[in-house]
Amino acid sequence: MKLSKKKLVLMSFMLFSLFFGAGNLIFPPFLGQNAGEKMPFAIAAFLITAVILPVLGVIVVAKFDGLDKLARKVDARFAVVFTILIYLSIGPGLGIPRAASVPFEMAVAPYLPSGAPLPVFMLLYSLVFFLTAGWLALTPSKLMERIGRFLTPSLLLLLLFLFVQFVLRGDAGVAAAQADYQANPMVKGFLEGYQTMDTIAALNFGLVIATTLRSLGVEKKNDLIHYTTRAGLAAGAILSAVYLMLSYMGMKSSAVYAIPENGAVVLRLIVKQLFGDVGAVLLAAIFTLACLTTCVGLITSISQFFSSLTDRLKYRQWVYLIAGFSFVVCNQGLNTILGISVPVLNAIYPVSIVLIILGLLDEKLGKNPYMYPAVITVTGIVSCVYCLDYNMHMPLGFLSDLCHTFPLYSLGLGWAGAAAAAALMSHLAYRLRSRRVSQNETEAAA
């Protein structure tokens, strides 16, 4: 079946909105403010982990018809553990609660009256937020219409309006780069892309896109991959444009405001300078729309996955359960949630990146039984050691010392060299085994 251009545009808008949530909104302006004059280098690397890899992830998951089938290339037990870990971390354990906490604490709480009971307001805000998200997630077949036709255009128009007003009337001044960006702007930008969580989210959203396409009558595998690729490229182009606008605003205000604690403060300062206190409404609308669409996508994909694992709970029951649990977690506070996110992402993100790359190269890898298990195992070990070593300050003695010998390990990229070495060793081992098998067959035939 051929998908109309209109439906393809709506699909692209929907995928963009699924990706564009809390982290996508607050990290680019924060990057721009910290990188200052080095922003072009930092944002170029940021786009690799925040746009290119997520788009590739959606395509790979569509190609394998689900994350669990891709992960089985490593091992059946790994597939179960890793898939559940991904869905829980990006979902009710971290990603979904953050999607509700960020808009409240960054765009609502600062404008409440002095002395207002923040926990009560947070409770009410998050209740309405999750009731809305749960209602939208109950009918996944209507996501494209509701998100692609209404929510995404509204969000993009608000962001474009803010950017144009900043270019025309905003206070501007570019400062020198902060220490980390001054020394390694591209490495720092690459790692900041982790914070968007989109490469991990892509492993979930691939299933949402495939399900939506099937509901539109697209059934053939090649057609699913074709339209997923086109929607992914279009969504990636929109994401890139928005990131460039947000990081530009951060860069051009880097000499105007002192470096704040996060990107939400950067946006709040810019909005207040442009529109005064009335701008709070604009900022709250941008944050809420961005986070709501991502939250809906996460609840949908995770509910679809868990409902396929067991018949005890149906899809609708999983929606209620995940939305309810996320509601409880988000009321623990944004700082608590963000404090958990960095070590979790440093441990999981590299494995997700390598799994996507291997999935893209799957046909060229042939029937090598060593490649997936060896490369993923080494990547997982190095990234977990780094997480314990740098994020949790729990060095593992000899193992930590060994990992410190890897190139770029102290910068958080030691896993890349380790994965490449594991891939090379796997290739050599497979060739050696193939040669022995060939020799044995020749001798037996003789």
Looking at the predicted structure, is the pLDDT value of residue 406 above 80?
yes
Per-residue model confidence (pLDDT) at position 320? 94
* For range 380-399, the mean pLDDT: 84
pLDDT of residue 1: 63
Distances, alpha carbon 23 to alpha carbons 94, 174, 367, 378, in Å: 12, 23, 38, 28
pLDDT of residue 247: 94
Token pair for 238? 């929109």
Q: In sequence order, what DSSP letters do the residues of 224-242 get, joined into one string?
A: HHHHHHHHHHHHHHHHHHH
* Among 240, 263, 242, 243, CA closest to 253: 263
The whole-number pLDDT of residue 160 equals: 92
pLDDT at 98 over 70: yes
d(CA 298, CA 22): 13
Question: Residue 33 in contact with residue 252, Cβ under 8 Å?
Answer: no
Q: How far apart are CA 417 and CA 434, in angstroms?
A: 26
Other residues' Cβ atoms within 10 Å of the Cβ of residue 380: 20
Which amino acid belongs to residue 46? F
- 74 backbone dihedrals φ, ψ, rounded to 5°: -85, -55
**pLDDT band (50, 70, 90) for residue 25:** confident
At 340 the pLDDT is 65
In the predicted model, what is the mean pLDDT of the chain?
85
Which pLDDT tens digit goes with each residue over 262-279? 777 888 888 888 988 788
Contact 324, 304 (CB under 8 A): no
The token pair that represents 49 in the structure block:
């982990």
What pLDDT, on a 0 to 100 scale, did the predictor assign at position 334? 58
d(CA 40, CA 28): 12
pLDDT in tens, 285-329: 888 888 888 888 888 888 888 888 778 889 999 999 999 988 988
- pLDDT at 324 (0 to 100): 92
Mean pLDDT over 38-63 rounds to: 92
Is residue 121 scored above 80 in pLDDT? yes
CA distance 277 to 258: 20
Residue 83 pLDDT > 90, yes or no? no
Q: What's the burial of 415, exposed, middle or buried (CB within 10 Å: 0-12/13-18/19+)?
A: buried
Distance, in Å, from the CA atom of 328 to the CA atom of 129, rounded to the nearest integer, reads 12
pLDDT single digits (tens) 220-261:
888 888 888 899 999 999 999 999 999 999 999 999 988 877
Q: Name the band, by pLDDT with cuts 50, 70 and 90, for residue 338.
A: low
Average pLDDT rounded to a whole number, residues 385-392: 82
Give percent above pLDDT 90 in the chain.
29
* pLDDT of residue 131 exceeding 80: yes
User: E strands of 118-199, at which residues?
Assistant: none
8-state DSSP, 277? G
DSSP string, 176-228: PPPHHHHH-HHHHHHHHGGGG-HHHHHHHHHHHHHHHHHHTT--SHHHHHHHH
Residue 445: predicted pLDDT: 67
- Position 57 pLDDT exceeds 70: yes
For residue 133, is pLDDT > 80? yes
Residue 346, both tokens: 């440093």
Q: Residue 323's pLDDT is what?
A: 92
26-38 pLDDT tens trace: 889 999 999 999 9
Question: Across 162-166, 200-204, 400-404, which has the greatest mean pLDDT?
Answer: 162-166
Lowest mean pLDDT among 184-198, 349-363, 431-445: 431-445
Q: Which single residue is written with the structure tokens 């994020």? A: 391
pLDDT digits (tens, 9 = 90+) for 142-193: 777 777 777 788 888 988 999 999 999 988 899 998 888 998 899 999 988 8
What does the pLDDT average to over 381-403?
A: 84
20 contacts: CB under 8 Å, gap ≥ 6: 155, 239, 242, 290, 293, 294
Whole-angstrom Cα distance, residue 36 to residue 207?
38
Higher pLDDT, 350 or 281: 350
In the chain, what percentage of residues exceed pLDDT 70?
96
Stretch (H or E) spanning 439: helix 414-445
| Highest averaged pLDDT of the listed ranges 20-24, 121-125, 393-397 | 121-125
